Structure 1
Amino acid sequence: MNTPQTLGKQWGWNSLTERESALARNPTIGFYMDLTLIVVLVIALALFFDFTNGFHDTANAMATPIATGAIKPKTAVALAAVLNLVGAFLSTEVAKTISGGIIKEGGDTGVQIMPAMIFAGLMGAVIWNMLTWLLGLPSSSSHALFGGLIGAAIVGAGFGAIDYNVLMSKVLLPALVAPVIAGTSAYLCTKLAYTVTKRQSGLASPKRGGFRYGQIFSSSLVALAHGTNDAQKTMGVITLTLVASGLQDVGTGPHFWVIAACALAIALGTYMGGWRIIRTMGSGLTDVKPAQGFAAETSTAAAILASSHLGFALSTTQVASGSVIGSGLGRKGAVVRWGTAGKIAVGWLFTLPAAGLIGAAAAGLAHYGNGGLAIVSILGIGALLVIWVLSRREIVGHSNAISDVDVSGAAVNIPTKKQRRKSARAKAEQETKK
């Protein structure tokens, strides 16, 4: 086993004072496996979380256009995957919030959390993400990540490891405000869309169906925005790990290879679908028509892009759900299924503390050194296998995720030019016969 002194060199400490200071804050460092191995494990788990984030959040962009028939399911997830990939390269502000904001990474007080604790926090986030996917609940992957990391950091380094000002200003307040703003915007936009496209007789205008084509653009914008926000969270975690292990300078942003790896992971996860949550978002909250779908997606994209620019680590799931509910309220005659909305709200409420408890428990085990880390890994893999086995009892894919939505899609079918000409000829022939 490595001694604290030889292991300290691997952690990048340049002097005996630095090693002694770090060991005083984290006495269990000397019992952990080699730095290279634990960093590799953290990066691998972080990328797996990024993958789960992708298929967990595909519904944010593509549930409503699939629901209205604007785009075919497989085409939708492929398009979302490409745009998530592109979006991940457009900004790093959110990554900096994660790597140098919520968890204190250094400065005068030194590194506050070690890679083993980050590993424990990620395990909490991954397990909660998979559990809510099994239940079809569009909970927040972002809050699962924050909860897991915060729980692990408190156990590993104490309450002082958390920057509560950043947590409040860039995580909790946006979580409360953004869904309300997006929902209000979607409500107003839906009202406007239906007012503008209304005939004088009070009947719906044929132009209203054109919103279905507009949804291809608006949903693509949501997917792009998702990449600019959610992919960066994993970039921030990996960067935090590299900083905590002394392999990267404090205050620096993610390296290009980190950006590329996270972009690919979330794109691959997005391509896998996440059909259980698409079913909930597409038809579980309200029956979506093209005009309200366009309004919901546009409102979601605007909120996410603005948050990414400001470095807010926003929950795209909460924003998308708020927009869908707002658009349902904005369409006359639409019914919002408040029972489903209530279940989603409960998922939101419990995500951060539940992931935090799992992360804290994992961090507690990690304090026992290599054996503890091995137990965390075995229990985590076991939990994921159980969830996967349970998911096989009811397989949800592109063929059955939208079965409840087909009726609403057919109700807003847009006739082609050929169909309109044929209908006009038939009508003319009837008039001639009269």
Structure 2
Amino acid sequence: MITPVLIVIVCLALIFDYTNGFHDAANSIATIVSTKVLTPFQAVMWAAAFNFLVYFFVKDHKVANTISKIVQEHFVTMNVILAGLIAAITWNLITWWFGIPSSSSHTLIGGFAGAGITNAIYMGSNALSAVNMHYILTILAYIVLAPFIGLVVAYMVTILILHICKNARPSTAERWFKRLQLVSSAALSFAHGGNDAQKVMGILYVALFTSHIIKAGDAMPNWIPLACYSAIALGTMSGGWRIIKTMGSRITKITPLEGVSAETAAALTLFFTQQFGIPVSTTHTTTGAIVGVGLTKRLSAVRWGLTINIIWAWIITIPISALIAAGIFAILRVVL
């Protein structure tokens, strides 16, 4: 049944996807802007196009399926979904304002789980019984694994490229790597759209199921992926320049060669995890890849103080989002 709350949830979900787009735009275009391959305007248009193109190629939404199962069905209500979305949008905007490359994915997961746990407590049940621990533990593990995989792959790709191109003329090599950055950033934008838009698809699917509009096992309505990919593409077009500055130059200085390595490594990691339905963070993965590129030069090439601050943001994202969602859920129980 279509209710006013469901309409609000759909609108907020698409708003979250929009904020995800401009929050995570830096992931795929920070290096291509910092190396001056494209202007900021050209870069966001390039990234937005490939964020949306995923709609025509990806039909198996494994990541969406994982997200839909984070909170156990018995504890999912419209208030739980609404509180999770409001918390996720709030934390996204806070971290965007301060230029912190935190994870939109983990914000959404933390908000949804936090609201579900709070509902379980109000119902007199065990708090942890509200969430599917198999999925939660996998997500927590990949908070560490995703950036580490991105780091290792980026390091190996950079070393391999340097070995292959050791006899090339610097000016010729740079010209070719600037062209290749168009390909690698497109691949990363494609992977970002396919990974991140699916997380909201999972939330919307749960909302429709909770509203008894669809039944368990029903195929996802086609309007959901179309709307989600469109929203994330529009958000990407809006930029997110504060985070772009952090990702593109403040972690380590990036050359076109290194940009290709970092973007390729991040894209490969995202494609790999997407095949297994693991909702990893594009932000974490890309940051790890940029650090891996920096390590090929020397340890001091990476600004470790800033990197450690970013890691702290990763650690606190899920619990803070969960706490915000818990507070919002408590308010919604009184208001609605």
Range of TM-score over shorter length? over 0.9
Of residues 351-360 and 65-74 in structure 1, the stretch that sits farther from structure 2 once superposed is 65-74
Higher RCO, 1 vs 2 (CA within 8 Å, ≥6 residues apart): 2
1:43 and 2:33 correspond:
no
Matching residue of 1:360: 326
Please state how far the C-alpha of 1:208 moved relative to its aligned partner: 4.2
Match of 2:95 among 132, 149, 153: 132
Matching residue of 1:167: 136
Conserved? CA contact 1:87–1:226, under 8 Å: no
Please state how far the C-alpha of 1:340 moved relative to its aligned partner: 1.3
Structure 2 counterpart SS, 1:128: helix
Matching residue of 1:146: 109
Please state how far the C-alpha of 1:261 moved relative to its aligned partner: 0.9
Aligned residues: 328
Structure 1 counterpart SS, 2:75: coil
C-alpha deviations, 1:185-206, integer Å up to 9, x for none? Answer: 1011112222222239xx8573
Distance 1:353 1:214 in 2: 39
1:96 and 2:65 correspond:
yes
Please state how far the C-alpha of 1:332 moved relative to its aligned partner: 5.5
Conserved? CA contact 1:197–1:208, under 8 Å: no
For 2:110, the aligned partner's letter is G
Match of 2:42 among 65, 71, 75: 75
For 1:343, the aligned partner's letter is N
Matching residue of 2:159: 191
Distance 1:112 1:154 in 2: 8
Please state how far the C-alpha of 1:244 moved relative to its aligned partner: 1.4
Match of 2:120 among 150, 157, 179: 157
Gaps of 5+ in 1: 1-9, 11-34, 106-110, 371-434
Match of 2:231 among 242, 265, 269: 265
- TM-score normalised by the chain length of structure 2: 0.93
Matching residue of 1:61: 28
> Sequence identity of aligned pairs in percent?
39
- 1:270-349 alignment runs, 5 A limit: 270-331=236-297, 335-349=301-315
Distance 2:135 2:300 in 1: 39
Please state how far the C-alpha of 1:129 moved relative to its aligned partner: 0.3
Please state how far the C-alpha of 1:334 moved relative to its aligned partner: 7.1
Distance 1:78 1:208 in 2: 23
Distance 1:253 1:167 in 2: 24
C-alpha deviations, 1:393-421, integer Å up to 9, x for none? Answer: xxxxxxxxxxxxxxxxxxxxxxxxxxxxx
Distance 1:340 1:231 in 2: 28
Please state how far the C-alpha of 1:156 moved relative to its aligned partner: 1.4
For 2:290, the aligned partner's letter is V
Matching residue of 1:234: 200
Please state how far the C-alpha of 1:138 moved relative to its aligned partner: 0.7
Of residues 313-322 and 334-343 in structure 1, the stretch that sits farther from structure 2 once superposed is 334-343
Matching residue of 1:405: none
C-alpha deviations, 1:245-296, integer Å up to 9, x for none? Answer: 2111123342101111111111100000111111100001000011111010
Distance 1:39 1:181 in 2: 38
Matching residue of 1:251: 217
Conserved? CA contact 1:118–1:152, under 8 Å: yes
